[in-house]
Amino acid sequence: MIWNKEAECMSREELREIQLKKLQKIVKRAYENVPYYNKKYTELGVFPEDIETLEDINKLPFTTKDDLREGYPFGMFAVPPKEIVEVHSSSGTTGKPVVSGYTRKDLDDWSEIMARGLNMMGIHEEDIIQNTHGYGLFTGGFGVHYGAQKIGSIVVPISTGQTRRQIEIMKDFGTTTLIFTPSYGLYLAEVAKEEGIDPKSVGLKAIGFGAEMWTEEMRKKIENDFNAPAFNIYGLTELMGPGIAVECSSQNGLHISEDYFLPEIIDPNTGKQLEEGKKGELVLTNLEREGMPIIRFRTKDITSLHYDKCECTRTFVKMDRITGRSDDMIKVKGVAIFPSQIEKALLKIDSIEPHYQIIVTRPHLMDEIEVKVEASPDIFFDEVKEMINIKKKIEDYIENEIGLRVKVSLVEPKSIPRSEGKAVRVIDKRDLH
Amino acid sequence: MIWNKEAECMSREELREIQLKKLQKIVKRAYENVPYYNKKYTELGVFPEDIETLEDINKLPFTTKDDLREGYPFGMFAVPPKEIVEVHSSSGTTGKPVVSGYTRKDLDDWSEIMARGLNMMGIHEEDIIQNTHGYGLFTGGFGVHYGAQKIGSIVVPISTGQTRRQIEIMKDFGTTTLIFTPSYGLYLAEVAKEEGIDPKSVGLKAIGFGAEMWTEEMRKKIENDFNAPAFNIYGLTELMGPGIAVECSSQNGLHISEDYFLPEIIDPNTGKQLEEGKKGELVLTNLEREGMPIIRFRTKDITSLHYDKCECTRTFVKMDRITGRSDDMIKVKGVAIFPSQIEKALLKIDSIEPHYQIIVTRPHLMDEIEVKVEASPDIFFDEVKEMINIKKKIEDYIENEIGLRVKVSLVEPKSIPRSEGKAVRVIDKRDLH
């Protein structure tokens, strides 16, 4: 069963027609109600009536996180305050925070897209969803919450932290679905084992993943730990929150709810649209949003789009899982490196744990990367010779992924700090200013 | 304007008629669907058809927190899991946690009672509500959230913690309403002043208080700090969450939504109902709840009920603010003492801060109370003679409240740990087992 078959399975022609109408409407609304768009479009001499085809979106300028920051707090709202019912915000750890505003209809739409996503994961009204995403200004918790309520399943809004209690509740309530960030999921499995509970014994039906970068190898480890399929959930606060795209049962890409979001892939350097299947930066446009319509937002997320038929019969385009961020990228010795590449290499090796940290330094004018990796308890107290072999093996595997030789240090099990939210993977000690 | 005039202003006769019908229905539903009630009522030989008048509620046994704990996790649910959409839980710090389950209609009802409450506080759709109550399994955050959405005001679901960010957002967003626990409110004001921001300058319109005991003096301090009226919000997870009773503009008692909850006051020792105006333990019965109907719940909260006319024209009964809990009560030298009494005494004295801790010991077979109180910075470095005078004054004031002489220690400003949730007021070091 598909949550909204009429929408999710419509033909490409019909969809494009609907998208065009919605795009024309939202560009007009943004131009008329948001000073930012009005000014920018006027300066560039591009106006709502210039959007005659979907391709005409190329005439419109991009919107960046910095643009949104400049509108802080409510400058991007397209409706008067009395129509806004909820406000979320990014953490603002890398600058002024970005505020996201929602009307009642926007919240209904958010519930709808997340309900579609949970349905793709096989969730029904009988399921018990333990939502370990944080609630608060962060959108992670609420997106899943609203979607679960729309489906009518039981949501346990436990939020992040209290890991031992999470495990107790999982067992006691008979949780069928866990929602977590990959790093918290690995931590949860680890703590459960410490407590003498096999995560497999919980009898999970599905796992929803989000808010963090991950690799197929990491997914395999988590699916194996919990003996349940893990599905990728994508979203970002600026455009709505989690649920913008979710993986279906074929687990090879995320269906974007294209009746709500218009996706493009661009070359991050030139800003030019790339053709189907090419890897580049994802650009998203709200097609329905009342409270804060965002047009051509540069997500900085690196992915590609695929329009071929999916076995699940949904016709919405599929995006690959995010393999990097245009600004997470570390440039070392001129080579662009993503933490996901290091991770991919590490997950191929049995005798280490998937906990790591990348430390970048520039001791003698030359960049150096050190990757700290936790040895598994079985091998940590083994012969030094054995340790040296594993270290060399990791260095080989990483070199194979990134094309550079790095220094690997094997560290004691559990010595790398666990995070309960997003893991800190890269420590850049270079003075790059 | 009253949120739901038809309900909130109906005549006592009409209300009693509605209450009786709802009581009969819910007792029948509980008896037929919840093994706990079925067993207990059968044992006592009391059956749904025995409820012919509202007074017949006296025939039914009480439900205690321990009863709910025995049903952990879902034993008290009256509907199949597929009808439950959300689950909350108490923290379980004092034993097995209590789980509370909601159907979709229960969540709508919760939104309705909290919307009535926010309306009593003068909140409209233009208001910006900064909700510092924690989200998660705790009901505090969600109750206010759902009510605010029903009203259509803007909810900023920031949750507890990140105090400096709270202050920044208050200023930047133009928050008109703050929701906090009294102790967190005091802390928030203190941190704002440290940051050089006068909390008065935020221009708050209203404050909603909850989840903690407080005194009129404490309210005055907070109202003075923020220059805004502070309203009491009452609720408990077992019956629903915050919103069961809220204070209206006359600020002298909380209107209980009597079409959803049937209140009684009993003598905590004999279990007998007390007459109007008498202080005793509040007992509440759900009149509408589908997911988990709770009948005659002993809240352990000490208050009294007043049926006289309110100037706001609402006809729902008013309960006094909670002045103690039957199990928070400290028995010292045979005298029953509530932390609220100590607090009341302290708030009368200018040269000290409203931060305190009560330490109970039994050094030589006799109970002793020490009250640690923070001196205000102005006087802390004064002459010792002055300090001794203040100390004596506090001891006099406390003796006046509780009838016992206690030892007071004046401690350095900011030396008593601040809490971001419920304050720890009593440290009982006696071995009472």
Residue closest to B349 by CA, chosen among B373, B316, B381: B373
**Residues B214-237, mean pLDDT to the nearest whole number:** 93
Q: What is the pLDDT of residue A170?
A: 95
Q: What is the pLDDT of residue A433?
A: 43
pLDDT at B146 over 50: yes
- Cβ atoms of B283 and B266 closer than 8 Å: yes
In the structure, what pLDDT confidence band is assigned to residue B84 with cuts at 50, 70 and 90? very high
Report the distance separating Cα B278 and Cα A264, nearest Å. Answer: 69
- Cβ atoms of B220 and B343 closer than 8 Å: no
In the structure, what pLDDT confidence band is assigned to residue A143 with cuts at 50, 70 and 90? very high
Q: How far is A23 from chain B (nearest CA, A)?
A: 27
- Spatial neighbors of B23 by CB under 8 A, at least 6 apart, are B51, B54, B57, B262, B285, B287
Round the CA-based radius of gyration of chain B to a whole number and report it. 22
pLDDT at B349 over 90: no
Sign of the C-alpha dihedral, residues B373, B378, B380, B385? negative
Report the distance separating Cα B325 and Cα B280, nearest Å. Answer: 10
**Residues B192-208, mean pLDDT to the nearest whole number:** 95
Structure tokens at B272: 């007998």
> Nearest by CB to A135, which of B107, B141, B148?
B141
DSSP string, B195-236: TT--GGGG---EEEE-SS---HHHHHHHHHHHTS-EEEEEEE
Which domains, from first to last, does chain A contain? 1-326 (3.40.50.12780), 330-428 (3.30.300.30)
In the structure, what pLDDT confidence band is assigned to residue B218 with cuts at 50, 70 and 90? confident
Q: What is the pLDDT of residue B128?
A: 98
H or E, element range at B23: helix B12-33
- Cβ atoms of A404 and A371 closer than 8 Å: no
H or E, element range at A209: strand A206-209
Neighbour count for residue A194 (Cβ, 10 Å): 12
Report the distance separating Cα B87 and Cα A131, nearest Å. Answer: 11
- Cβ atoms of B358 and B371 closer than 8 Å: yes
- Spatial neighbors of A20 by CB under 8 A, at least 6 apart, are A51, A53, A54
Q: B125 to chain A: nearest residue by CA? A: A82
Q: What is the dihedral of CA A93, A237, B241, B160, to 10 degrees?
A: 10
- Highest mean pLDDT, choosing among A267-276, B89-98, B101-110, B160-169: B101-110
> Nearest by CB to B73, which of A99, A101, A173?
A173
Q: How far is A329 from chain B (nearest CA, A)?
A: 29
Mean of the per-residue pLDDT values of chain A: 90
Structure tokens at A13: 């022609």
What percentage of chain A exceeds 70 in pLDDT?
A: 94
Q: What is the pLDDT of residue B93?
A: 56
Q: How far is CA A151 from CA A126, B77, B111, in A?
A: 9, 20, 19
Interchain CB distance below 8 Å, B157 and A88: yes
Report the distance separating Cα A29 and Cα A293, nearest Å. Answer: 8
More confident residue, A123 or B410: A123
> Nearest by CB to A154, which of B86, B153, B155?
B86
> Nearest by CB to B137, which of A72, A84, A157?
A157
Sign of the C-alpha dihedral, residues B340, B341, B342, B344? positive
| Strand duo B352-361 + B368-375: pairing | antiparallel
Q: What is the pLDDT of residue B327?
A: 65
Contacts of B137 in chain A (CB under 8 A): 156-159
Residue closest to A192 by CA, chosen among A159, A157, A165, A156: A165
Q: How far is A208 from chain B (nearest CA, A)?
A: 18
A104-120 and A140-151 helices cross at what angle (nearest 10)?
Answer: 80
Residue closest to B132 by CA, chosen among B197, B87, B186: B186
Q: Provide the residue type at B140 as one letter.
A: G
Interchain CB distance below 8 Å, A87 and B141: no
pLDDT at A289 over 80: yes
Q: Provide the residue type at B43 as one letter.
A: E
Residue-wise pLDDT tens digits, A37-83: 999 999 999 999 999 999 999 999 999 999 999 999 999 999 999 99
Q: A153 to chain B: nearest residue by CA? A: B85
Structure tokens at B294: 């709770």
Contacts of A128 in chain B (CB under 8 A): 81, 87
Report the distance separating Cα B402 and Cα B358, nearest Å. Answer: 13
